[in-house]
Structure 1
Amino acid sequence: MKKNGIILALFGSLILLTGCAKWIDRGESITAVGSSALQPLVETVAEDYQTNHPGRFINVQGGGSGTGLSQVQSGAVEIGNSDLFAEEKSGIDATKLVDHKVAVVGIAPIVNKNIGIKNISMENLRKVFLGEITNWKELGGTDEEIVILNRAAGSGTRSTFEKWVLNGETAVKSQEQDSSGMVRQIVADTPGAISYTAFSYITNEVATLTVDNVAPTDENVTTNDWQIWAYEHMYTKGKPTDLTKEFLDYVLSDEIQEKIVGELGYIPVSKMTVERDWQGKLIN
């Protein structure tokens, strides 16, 4: 009898393990990769989702918009986070991806707090990043060499900045960083430094510049008075299903859009009074 009991116990354990394996195979874990500008939002919502849905896991990683788009296109991940429309990225077939716009992000020039200026014209901002202006005294600031810090190639933040500030030209060669947080820290610690980052990464460690006397605020983004902004996209390969669909629905729910999106420095899409297509043209 004891031997039979052991066999039954082992058989029961095997059924339990098999059941667990089937539970795992149902896709209760997904991965979202890409934009570092969008990463804080996705991480925060993922934590909130997991708290309310025990046993379901959302793995969130950075790597830049280019990585997010290429990884979701290849099927390596379920969600590709991007500051760019898929149509803007070389090597990406946008027809195979489904776009889920989850927020809008403003992008602002950030500078070391001791450069001595608060406003810059769009023309001069362009000249700074093209290497045509090299000292802050040329702009009425301190006699300090301008130190440019760029995001790495493939960054959606960089592409957006170059599109709207440099008219599509490439910034002068300079130090590059993958992480928005690291960009902010280097600018804060480096005399004469300038870079750019999403509103959600701006802290009092750095100063922002107004451009043509327009301040980088959410309100100015919603009206397009501040033009350096981008949609935040979460792309899927085809229509999402199962946990991927559930999570995206959660991100886009009124509760999350109102409770988390705005609090983290992003702008809910519903707040926008204008709409742009992938080419940057306003849609009436």
Structure 2
Amino acid sequence: MKKIKILIGSLLIATLMTGCASKKNNNITIVGSTAMQPMIEMAAEEFQHHSKVRITVQGGGSGTGLSQVQAGAVAIGNSDIFAQQQPGIKAEKLQDNKVAVVGIAPVVNKKVGIDNLSMEQLKGIFTGKYTNWKQVGGKNQKIIVINRAQGSGTRKAFESDVLKGESAIKAQEQDSSGTVQKMIAATPGSISYLAFPYLNKDVQKLSIDNVKPNAKNVENNDWKIWAYEHMYTKKKVDKKVKKFIDYIYTKEVQQNLVKTLGYITIHDMKVQKDENGNIEEIQK
């Protein structure tokens, strides 16, 4: 009888362990860019409706996404920058899946009194050349720069396209796009930058050289500040991970979810950009 009880107990433990392993194997953990987060969260929610896969999506910034996927801690690392642009990342060991494009726009507190800057003026603000809005056509008010944290892909993309190798001034830094959005709305004289999906009526988005920040202008590079939305994985991935990434490329997601949320579908781009910022037309 004692042996039977031990055998039954062993079988129960084995069954429980198998069940836990099965549940764990049906999980996909995704970490990284907060600019990408709204799109991936909604796509994950839809994907889970017709699959047995459980998907967890977290922010943390592009740098975190890249380092976590490289370490094997997560299945997918979301990034607004190329892996080649992130120190310590061995890009050749990762698979780059460019799933969308995101525009990035400078934003100011609505009481600043301007809606357009030249690219040189924008660069001058973030490098410390201009410190008062009066110097660039606004009110006599101190400029308060709010930057993203160093690990932010949105920050790296913005600085690459705007600062062109010059260093940004020291300023307060925020970890997430949502926090930046709220701070700009609440802080007089403030300026920062946000991915298009985070633009709303509470902040004033700026045109650059009289070009408006919208999808059409990103598609042909009239709007110069934009980045790919990358979903990085290891070279070899589980079937469930591949299925989810394939789902992101479907017409259902690209033509509906991507556009509705304010991103730009890969298929509408007339130009392409490499990790060094070089632009060339796409031959179709």
Selected match of 1:36 from 31, 34, 37? 34
1:218 aligned residue: 215
SS in 2 for 1:123: helix
Q: Distance in 1 between matches of 2:193 and 2:269?
A: 22
Q: Is the 8 A contact 1:78 1:236 kept in 2?
A: yes
2:178 aligned residue: 181
1:200 aligned residue: 197
Q: Distance in 2 between matches of 1:14 and 1:147?
A: 60
1:3 aligned residue: none
Q: Distance in 2 between matches of 1:77 and 1:13?
A: 30
SS in 2 for 1:265: coil
Q: Distance in 1 between matches of 2:98 and 2:237?
A: 14
2:16 aligned residue: 17
Q: Alpha-carbon deviation of 1:167?
A: 0.6
What is the root-mean-square deviation in Å for CA atoms of aligned residues? Answer: 2.1
Deviating above 4 A after TM superposition, structure 1's stretches of 4 or more consecutive aligned residues are 6-16
1:138 aligned residue: 135
Q: Is the 8 A contact 1:160 1:229 kept in 2?
A: yes
Return closer, same or farther for 1:239/1:13 CA change in 2, 3 Å cut-off.
Answer: closer
Amino acid at match of 2:22: W
Q: Is the 8 A contact 1:163 1:169 kept in 2?
A: no
Selected match of 2:114 from 107, 114, 117? 117
Q: Alpha-carbon deviation of 1:241?
A: 2.2
Amino acid at match of 1:49: F
Q: Which runs of 5+ in 2 are unaligned?
A: none
Alignment of 1:79-118 (within 5 A): 79-118=76-115
1:236 aligned residue: 233
Count of residues paired in the alignment: 281
Q: Is the 8 A contact 1:106 1:230 kept in 2?
A: yes
Q: What is the TM-score normalised by the length of structure 2?
A: 0.93
Q: Is the 8 A contact 1:209 1:215 kept in 2?
A: yes
Q: Distance in 1 between matches of 2:67 and 2:18?
A: 34
Return closer, same or farther for 1:234/1:11 CA change in 2, 3 Å cut-off.
Answer: same
Q: Which runs of 5+ in 1 are unaligned?
A: 1-5
Amino acid at match of 1:98: Q
SS in 1 for 2:181: helix
Q: Distance in 1 between matches of 2:69 and 2:21?
A: 24
Q: Is the 8 A contact 1:103 1:233 kept in 2?
A: yes
* Seq. identity, %: 52
Amino acid at match of 1:24: K
